[in-house]
Structure 1
């Protein structure tokens, strides 16, 4: 097994090497999911503890994901300079620093410092995802790339199910709802004291998380994960790329980056807004904390569907077409369906369950876009992957758009922002990915 820092070609890896590499990357995707989807409960938590509007609370997603826009391209050059494994170690160190920044932020109940911590975590994840996504795409047959990405997605979303539940168990108490309900009637001093106590509950868990992430970074550096040579090109790819000098000469890549931007933004809206949407139906935060887990559970269902049928029964391209259409249909049903239902012990409007069901199409959209977008990039693969990872800043922008319309028009009406997102994704799945010349 390759254990040195010398780059190797994918073809030279044994089956055991490949399997071990995939298992290590799967563990990393679990960590990505845990740190990303915990935002679903951080948003309402900070909204209460730091006394924020809807728009201000969605700065959590903005600060976290705008780091992908800032750091993704530098991350590609970092990986070229120091290699995948050293680059991943640096990424984990950034995650650790971001977690430790939560400690002074909580001591002073300063929302801006929390946002700096979230941005730092986002920087670390930008480095790690720039390395991990092309890694898992090229570790095996191209036609099964969506299947491997789906397996990574299961790890990611399973962590996302656990994250808000574990966070809630660590920092929320059964008696908190009574305190939340009485905040408006408290004196300024009593309210400040109660909120200070509430926010300082994050200190212990984030200190532990920071220490663990630092140790994982060292572990990855000395793991058996091989360095992969992404500079090699087949004769066919070399001929197709002859004369090309930059990634913007690949229309299918650029349009794919836009598709990633839109897809991830729509996905985060369906997860990070659902607790507040449940709250508008009279569901308490203590009970609503499980709704992101419902959406992520549907995502896992979608991943298993993808693993079962792609590419055996349906190509990954046709699956992308199917799920983007499904997403557009569910978006319309969120806005137009009404009626009270009782499901899993929750009395809510039926529309919230269509937000939950968005987890199915969202799970398979990323897996469909990624291999189409980096197809045939050859020596441009690392930089192309950085452009796609940069698209993750859609997680920063689109929730803010939703938050604006939620304040102006209402939480349900704000879900209209999803429809144009899925219409563009349908375009990319049908036609956009085929473009090889502008």
Structure 2
């Protein structure tokens, strides 16, 4: 997602005034280094799911629907914990919020140890929810912090740099996971396990699960170490500003945002977008596993490389050559075309990947898998384009509108589960038809929905 933690733009509790234009250059650079490290950590934890899904499918003997509860338990934390995180930051401040978020993430990483030792899937899901809860608090703190770190007119540049840290982690993590976790995975294939006795099969799965213990202990240790580093660092704190009084506060204010169709329809488009982004990033390894792709554990890296390319194109082209809604239209159209490639493409032919990545020495993958990876290119510019279109003209309702958009991240919890159910009922490739109405929703919003300013009323003159 773009560009914050999967690049989630967490709902800031209140507007933050620009009081940092005169920040010393040295403090900005030091702050950027700390925040870059944290964005890399957030990306590492987020994009690990794409490799974890097929791994836990073997370890816990799951079908596709059950395995994709990994993504559901992870992304639902963004919906459930965004507003509580904002309330916590109002009490303890942003720097302490980062520290607490890292501590919660460390606790989530530690939960993987008993989960791996017992092979209890519910424990794995609890660990993922805890990890994502800490990430939600972290993102709620660092999104406004990166804006306030230096001059506001250079905030976009800082956000772009942070986005590259995040997406770079998405490229690296599947490679690391595969080298540590998936060595000799052939003996744990469906055929190999099926030839064993029940006792031997259970023992083999337990041995495979133990591979998670050491990496997650290292992750927890690293998170706690960085927590201490941030706590004792000279990062200046940013005190939250008290929210201005609103005559329509409370229940009326919350109902008030529903009067804005550009916002409500934007939340729907964002729900669809987060769903397709997570499906493209987190099911590609599962799909590759179904097709017996030898390097299925690294396939999320293919999607992430495409997202990095798309993100760089967006940074250069918007708004110089493309407006936000034009970028959104092109992204949705490309998503529609690539969805046809995923659903109708060859399951074993590798012509497309040889043409596109053969020069790089990357292992070729089936054409339908390559189209799925290329969805990263289509998805890259959607997140930053929807937010300004959806919040345009909200005025004093902007904070409530931002919270509504954050809730739309639940698409990452719902849509992959629906894909998993369709995958088990139909077939893994055919289930990707689910992407078509999602991209159609984004396309309609980019062309028409964002222009609406009243339900049943006229479109705006200036979209």
Instruction: Confirm whether residue 359 of structure 1 aligns to residue 383 of structure 2.
Output: no
Deviation (angstroms), 1:125: 1.3
- Normalising by the residue count of structure 1, what TM-score does the alignment of the two structures yield? 0.87
Alignment equivalent of 1:341, drawn from 350, 353, 374: 350
Q: CA RMSD in A?
A: 2.9
Distance 1:374 1:84, change over 3 A: farther
Residue correspondences, number: 423
Query: 297-306 vs 366-375, which deviates more?
Result: 366-375
User: Where do 5+ consecutive residues of structure 1 fail to align?
Assistant: 1-6
Distance 1:64 1:57, change over 3 A: same
Alignment equivalent of 1:309, drawn from 307, 314, 317: 317
Instruction: Confirm whether residue 422 of structure 1 aligns to residue 439 of structure 2.
Output: yes
Alignment equivalent of 2:328, drawn from 320, 328, 331: 320
**Residue in 2 aligned with 1:105?**
115
**Residue in 2 aligned with 1:3?**
none
Alignment equivalent of 1:88, drawn from 95, 98, 101: 98
Deviation (angstroms), 1:150: 4.2
Distance 1:26 1:370, change over 3 A: farther
Aligned mates of 2:223, 2:447 — CA distance in 1: 41
Contact kept? 1:88, 1:131, Cα under 8 Å: yes
1:368-394 residue CA offsets vs partner (Å, 9 max, x unmatched): 223334456676665544433332221
Deviation (angstroms), 1:282: 2.6
Aligned mates of 2:75, 2:194 — CA distance in 1: 32
Aligned mates of 1:131, 1:333 — CA distance in 2: 39
Which secondary structure does the structure 2 equivalent of 1:361 belong to? helix
Instruction: Confirm whether residue 171 of structure 1 aligns to residue 181 of structure 2.
Output: yes
Instruction: Confirm whether residue 261 of structure 1 aligns to residue 271 of structure 2.
Output: yes
Distance 1:210 1:182, change over 3 A: same
Contact kept? 1:62, 1:397, Cα under 8 Å: yes
Query: 324-333 vs 135-144, which deviates more?
Result: 135-144
Aligned mates of 2:312, 2:164 — CA distance in 1: 8
Deviation (angstroms), 1:275: 1.5
Which secondary structure does the structure 2 equivalent of 1:290 belong to? helix
1:141-182 residue CA offsets vs partner (Å, 9 max, x unmatched): 989877654443322121011112112222232x33134341
Alignment equivalent of 1:77, drawn from 87, 111, 134: 87
User: Where do 5+ consecutive residues of structure 2 fail to align?
Assistant: 1-14, 456-463
**Residue in 2 aligned with 1:128?**
138
Distance 1:403 1:225, change over 3 A: farther
Contact kept? 1:85, 1:227, Cα under 8 Å: yes
Instruction: Confirm whether residue 432 of structure 1 aligns to residue 449 of structure 2.
Output: yes
1:208-259 residue CA offsets vs partner (Å, 9 max, x unmatched): 11121122233334442541656688xxxx9xx8756635533344433333
Contact kept? 2:266, 2:450, Cα under 8 Å: yes
Query: 11-20 vs 334-343, which deviates more?
Result: 11-20
**Residue in 1 aligned with 2:196?**
186
Aligned mates of 1:51, 1:22 — CA distance in 2: 43
Alignment equivalent of 2:235, drawn from 204, 217, 224: 224
Deviation (angstroms), 1:9: 3.0
Aligned mates of 2:263, 2:373 — CA distance in 1: 30
Query: 324-333 vs 59-68, which deviates more?
Result: 324-333
Query: 325-334 vs 295-304, which deviates more?
Result: 325-334
Deviation (angstroms), 1:292: 0.9
